[in-house]
């Protein structure tokens, strides 16, 4: 088996980092002697998360463009030139066989330089609305792995492969041991359980909603697993009780999903992919504060298939209770949502992405 070398580049958010780590893990499983290098943005979360996963990473001096005129924007051209030069040195030194980009501004310079040197490149686009960096790179790469239909709007049709988004392996092999999961959280096996997810940092508007609706949830006979995020735990942990478990971070997502009867969640690409595999009824509350409003577009793609519900932040006061009450009261409706969201699951995404990467590898017999 050849001693292959892979560069993976992407970052800024967990939605770009965790897919890259999942792809690297699958490549390492197939090629134990391979060498890996991640390239991210200096000062962003990948510089911490990637080493924790057991991989080396180098940072580029790069940031995204701000939406308004700022000093950072004036520095942007210098950062681009600096990052292109450093990416070129990394490519010459590491000599990768393939470079994989998972989106985010950090991947732009690395894939731009690598493709210019004739190194095969693969893009992985997580969202239903393609990111700016991936759109700029579309003509320079060999393959583009996507999670949604209709991506020909953004990319050359002959390069697109629908693979889905990488998800953690413990969810693909989810052991639905509900009593064990409820016991883990100290919850009542006789009650219906709502799981609330706002991401690792938390979602302020979702947290405000849940705090405001605790009596409403109680009137419906629900108990809660409420992941409020590390930014908000000091503010919301006071609501912890026998029937409300407030957590900053979820160490056992498999138990959380197994315990849940309903889920309220943001609609980042990773969350949507995971929840499709889990197959529970879900109400998405998209973040309006993300590039090109892609969370709303991700959620809408499931709503259009009768696979999920969506309430925008601006509609929470008027629509949340009517939407959620119907979900609790109508068993046939819940079954329909669960069946439809499961149809959208692509649990073998990571393997399929790596299959496409393998096709680009040179023979090293």
pLDDT in tens, the chain (365 residues): 458 999 999 877 767 888 999 999 999 999 999 999 999 888 888 888 899 999 999 988 776 655 555 666 666 666 777 778 899 999 999 999 999 999 888 899 999 999 999 999 999 999 888 888 899 999 999 999 999 889 999 999 999 999 999 887 666 666 668 899 999 999 999 999 999 998 766 789 999 999 999 999 999 999 999 999 988 999 999 999 999 999 998 888 889 999 999 999 999 888 999 999 999 999 999 998 876 788 999 999 999 999 999 999 999 999 999 999 999 999 999 999 999 999 998 889 999 999 999 999 998 76
Round to whole Å and give the CA distance between 156 and 316: 38
> Which residues contribute to the annotated binding site?
13-15, 127, 168, 200, 295
Round to whole Å and give the CA distance between 198 and 196: 7
pLDDT of residue 251: 81
> Which residues contribute to the annotated binding site for UDP-N-acetyl-alpha-D-glucosamine?
13-15, 127, 168, 200, 295
Strand order in 121-125's β-sheet? 57-60, 35-41, 5-9, 98-101, 121-125, 143-146, 160-162
Ordered structural domains, the chain, with CATH: 5-166+347-358 (3.40.50.2000), 170-343 (3.40.50.2000)
């Amino acid at each position: 088996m050849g001693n292959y070398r892979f560069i993976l580049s992407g970052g800024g958010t967990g939605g770009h980092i965790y897919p890259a780590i999942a792809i690297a893990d699958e490549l390492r499983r197939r090629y134990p002697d391979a060498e890996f290098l991640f390239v991210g943005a200096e000062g962003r979360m990948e510089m911490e998360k990637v080493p924790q996963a057991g991989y080396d990473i180098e940072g580029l001096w790069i940031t995204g463009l701000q939406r308004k005129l700022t000093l950072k924007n004036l520095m942007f051209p210098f950062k681009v030139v600096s990052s292109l030069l450093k990416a070129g040195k990394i490519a010459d030194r590491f000599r990768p066989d393939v470079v994989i980009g998972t989106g985010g501004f950090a991947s732009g310079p690395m894939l731009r330089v690598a493709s210019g040197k004739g190194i095969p490149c693969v893009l992985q686009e997580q969202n239903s609305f393609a990111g700016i960096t991936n759109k700029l790179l579309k003509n320079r790469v060999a393959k583009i792995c996507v999670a949604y239909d209709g991506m020909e709007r953004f990319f050359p049709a002959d390069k697109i492969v629908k693979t889905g988004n990488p998800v953690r392996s413990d969810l693909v092999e989810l052991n639905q041991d509900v009593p064990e999961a409820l016991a883990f959280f100290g919850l009542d096996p006789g009650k219906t359980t709502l799981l609330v997810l706002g991401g690792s940092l938390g979602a302020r508007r979702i947290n405000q909603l849940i705090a405001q609706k605790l009596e409403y949830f109680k009137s419906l006979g629900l108990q809660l697993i409420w992941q409020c995020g590390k930014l908000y735990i000091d503010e919301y942990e006071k609501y912890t009780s026998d029937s409300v478990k407030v957590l900053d971070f979820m160490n056992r997502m498999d138990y959380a999903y197994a315990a849940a009867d309903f889920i309220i969640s943001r609609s980042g690409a990773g969350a949507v992919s995971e929840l499709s595999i889990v197959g529970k009824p879900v109400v998405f509350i998209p973040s309006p504060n993300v590039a090109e409003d892609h969370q709303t577009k991700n959620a809408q793609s499931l709503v259009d298939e009768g696979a999920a519900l969506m309430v925008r932040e601006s509609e929470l006061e008027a629509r949340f209770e009517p939407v959620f009450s119907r979900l609790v009261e109508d068993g046939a409706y819940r079954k329909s949502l669960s069946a439809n969201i499961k149809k959208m699951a692509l649990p073998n995404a990571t393997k399929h992405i790596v299959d496409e990467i393998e096709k680009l590898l040179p023979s090293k017999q």
